Amino acid sequence: MVVVGVCASGKTTLVANLDKLGINANNCAQEHSQIKQLWKKKQPDILVMLDATLATIRTRRNVPWGEERLLVQRERLSDARKHADLFIQTDDLTREEVAQAVIDYIRGKQNDSYNSS
């Protein structure tokens, strides 16, 4: 699994929480890269994208930049967003709720695989 998203959307926290549960996930700093498909280098079985508004980002981290930089990050993430298996807007969610959304997705995917066998 690879997790991408804008700065302070919760990528590092999500990866750490999933790791504690024994779920292998990697954070890809796609928002800083000009390489639109950087996320593909890890060949993820699941691609998760996180997003947050500037107002939320500023409650999580002291960032000196504004909406323009956030738009640039979202543009850099546009390919990942198109290919994401799961998109989570993290503004109104706790770190536990974000992790639970991913766990629910994985369980649903496992159930789909089981039901189609």
- pLDDT tens, position by position, 54-107: 999 999 999 999 999 999 999 999 999 999 999 999 999 999 999 999 999 999
What's the predicted TM-score (pTM) here?
A: 0.91
The dihedral region occupied by 86, where left means phi > 0, alpha psi between -120 and 50, and beta the remainder, is: beta
What digits encode the pLDDT tens for the residues 11-29?
A: 999 999 999 999 999 999 8
So what's the pLDDT on residue 111? 73
Alpha carbon distance 117, 98 (integer Å): 29
Q: Kindly tell me if the per-residue pLDDT of 115 is higher than 80.
A: no
